[in-house]
Chain A
Amino acid sequence: MSPAAVAEAGPVPATDRRRARRRAAWRRRGLVFLLMSPWLAGFTIFFGYPLVMSGYLSLTHYDLLSPPKWRGLANYRYLLHDDPQFWPAVRNTLWFIAIAVPLQVLFAFGIALMLARAKRGLGFFRTVFYLPALAPPVAATLGFVYLLNPATGPVNIVLGHLGIQGPLWFLSPGWAKPSLTLLAVWGVGNTMIIFLAAVLDVPQHLYESAELDGAGPLQRLRWVTLPTISPVILFSIILGVIQGLQYFTQAFVAANIAAGQASQAGDTVNNLGYPQDSTLFYPVLVYQAAFVNNGMGYASALAIVLLVVAFAVTSVILWNSRRWVHYAGSVR
């Protein structure tokens, strides 16, 4: 109840009081509407409308030049049965989510644990591990394509000095995704900072009582640290999966540069997914369908499938999390 309504209550007759209260309620509603209006407008124009339009366009053939032609479910049938690139793109994205994302979480967690135990130089080390996360993705990718350049890149030169024949990295279909994984692990700084804050936040008395009960370092990690920071682990896994589903920039730039390097004929259009569709992730496929092939209808169908999968995956993770995420002081 707003202070104004309280002040007016008292000797005033009941009908007036009710009217005043109603007026206050309306004023409050107006205020909420005013405050929320930027987002309401933005949500309608840049989220609701495109979502509905995506659904409609996915059922049409549309090349931006002539008006959309109704095609029913033809786009979806083509996508599931005939598009030779659909399943490879799905597999690439799944590969990335299943391998790169867990590696990122593990690395971030491991480094955070070591940092939390560091007696000296915490600030220095934290900066060193965080810096790569700041490198703009395009710049970082360019750097890695150079570093992992098979013949003259520093990594293979160093490996050569150690007597190891380095792989072809971004130029070979088998090594392109692992190369992108290296790049992804290099940039885990944000996750690492979040883990570090969480690990430093674990109450010291929990460790002490566990130690009194005779728990070794590993047991303390398993039964004290992990349960306490499990909400943060959940957060980073969900974030990782969402980012995995959107993975575009690094794959696009790496394929472009590596292909240009191999052929010396930098033609962007045919370079998507280079080499041999091994970096053709799902968002790259959407980009290709819409903006290379001008198939706005087909690209919308691909986008709708992505939407459904993104929702399914995040809700499955959230649903599962009830079993292993521990919220301090809350009944869940």
Chain B
Amino acid sequence: MSTASVPVRAAALVRRKPPPTVRRQRFLVAVANHSLLIAAAIIFIAPFGFIVLTALMTNEQALSVHLWPHPFRWRNFTDVFHEAPILRWTLNTMIYSSLATLGLVVSSVPVAYALARIRWRGRNLAFMVVLIALMLPPQVTVVPLYVMWTRLGQHIGFHFVGSLWPLIVPNWFGDAFSIFLLRQFFLTIPEEYLDAARVDGCGELRILTTVVLRMAKPAIAAVALFSFLYTFNDFFLPLLYTGENPARWPLQVGLAQFRSLHQVQWNLTMAATLLVMAPVIAIFFLAQRAFIEGVTLTGVKG
């Protein structure tokens, strides 16, 4: 701003007030914009509202035309645990999620580094192949993989089908989406930092484990977060591999079967639904910035 040194006249020229008609028009547009936003926000929030209200109703009320619980039945949230082994399902989800996420981060970081910061022949081709793997629908490879796990199980006498291992193990070999996201982030690290480390006598491995890892913390956090979300929400593959063995069901498979388990009522089903949504939403509020930055990173740099 030039207001500090130049007399007030010049400042008035720069920041001239628009005429009243324009100002009124702008005000009206802003009001219309906010009204639309508020209306849309109410529509977006309403499903959560109805789910919460139903989760607090008695069964008879959930099947009536009344929308407000009367009386509030807080017991639904404890009854749910008697109706279905939710803790068992949660444990299975935690096992799947933590082992998969750990392996995915450890295996994807070096690959992303090699694709981003080391020059070698065939690098672009390798990156293209990663992108193609990213676009491929999982249904294309699912049949041979299922056959593979079945046969492998017959060979060594362990029932992979019916366990969580076929879901976990592939994550230990690098995940295309995480490699992509980490590579995009590694590209943004200024070359000067790496050169400084090289001049100090660091080998590429030392550079990766010290300089790059320390700078890439937000990106690694985003990748771990997305991996947790993905595994927590995952349904298709868990349904295939654990569907026949209820003892290994993760939360999502259990929840999908919840209503048909013993003709469970809607109020309890909605209480279970809320319980399954809660961890994700809680994590969102704890790590809101990492979420938004991570999502943005996937899109803008793409």
Contact = CB atoms under 8 A, between A and B. Distances in A.
Interface of A: 3, 28-29, 31-32, 34-36, 38-39, 41-43, 45-47, 49-51, 53-54, 57, 62, 64, 111, 114-115, 117-121, 125-132, 134-139, 142-144, 146-147, 149, 152, 154, 157-158, 160, 186, 190, 193-194, 197-198, 201, 231-232, 235-236, 238, 242, 245-246, 248-249, 252-253, 256-257, 260, 264, 266, 268, 282-283, 286-287, 290-291, 296, 299-300, 303-304, 306-307, 310-311, 314
Given A232-B300, A236-B299, A303-B142, A3 B199 contact: yes
A198 B299 contact: yes
* 4 residue pairs, one from A and one from B, having the closest CB atoms: A42-B173, A194-B299, A266-B260, A53-B144
Contacts of A311: 135
Given A193-B296, A249-B235, A57 B144 contact: yes
B174 A38 contact: yes
Contact of B113 (A35, A143, A147, A201): A35
B28 interface: no
A331 B141 CA distance: 37
A146 B30 contact: no
Nearest to B302: A235
Interface string B131-162: 00101111111111111101000000000000
A126 B40 CA distance: 12
B298 A194 contact: yes
A215 to B, nearest CB: 15
Given A190-B295, A283-B137, A303-B139, 8 more contacts: A54-B143, A57-B143, A111-B40, A134-B284, A138-B235, A142-B256, A235-B302, A291-B146
Q: Please indicate which of the listed interface residues B133, B143, B269 has the most CB atoms of chain A within 10 Å of its own CB.
A: B143
B284 A131 contact: yes
A296 B147 contact: yes
A39 B173 contact: yes
A194 B235 contact: no
Contacts of B141: 46-47, 50-51, 54, 303
B59 to A, nearest CB: 11
Nearest to B169: A46
Given A39-B111, A53-B144, A143-B47, A310 B137 contact: yes
A246 B138 contact: yes
Interface in B102-132: 107-108, 110-111, 113-114, 118, 120, 126, 129-130
7 contacts: A28-B204, A43-B133, A50-B145, A138-B256, A194-B295, A249-B236, A287-B139
A36 B260 contact: no
B242 to A, nearest CB: 12
B136 A307 contact: yes
Given A3-B199, A253-B256, A257-B259, A139 B36 contact: no
Nearest to B283: A134
Interface stretch (B2-10, B73-81, B274-282): B274-282
A117 B33 contact: yes
B50 interface: yes
B101 interface: no
B300 A246 contact: no
Contacts of A306: 137, 139-140
A47 B130 CA distance: 11
A111 B39 CA distance: 11
A199 to B, nearest CB: 11
B280 A135 contact: yes
Of the four ranges (under 10, 10 to 19, 20 to 34, 35 or more), the interface on chain B belongs to 35 or more
A138 B235 CA distance: 8
Contact of B120 (A32, A114, A232): A32
Interface of B: 29-30, 33-34, 36-37, 40-41, 44-45, 47-48, 50-51, 54, 62-65, 67, 107-108, 110-111, 113-114, 118, 120, 126, 129-130, 133, 135-148, 150, 170, 172-174, 179, 198-199, 204-205, 208, 229, 232-233, 235-236, 239-240, 243, 251-252, 255-256, 258-260, 263, 266, 269-270, 273, 276-277, 280-281, 284, 288, 291-292, 295-296, 298-300, 302
Contacts of A35: 110-111, 113-114, 118, 208
A139 B255 contact: yes
Nearest to A198: B300
Contacts of B288: 127
Given A31-B204, A138-B256, A157-B67, A132 B44 contact: yes
B147 A42 contact: no
Nearest to B270: A146
Contacts of B266: 146, 149
Contact of B173 (A31, A38, A139, A157): A38
Contact of A42 (B170, B263, B300): B170
Q: Please indicate which of the listed interface residues A114, A121, A136, A232 has the most CB atoms of chain B within 10 Å of its own CB.
A: A136
Nearest to B269: A142
A263 to B, nearest CB: 11
Nearest to B111: A39
B130 A39 contact: yes
A130 B289 CA distance: 13
Contact of A3 (B34, B137, B198, B256): B198
Contacts of A130: 284, 291-292
Nearest to B137: A246
B295 A193 contact: yes
Contacts of A38: 107-108, 110-111, 172-174
A27 to B, nearest CB: 9
A290 B236 CA distance: 13
A261 B280 CA distance: 28
B51 A114 contact: no
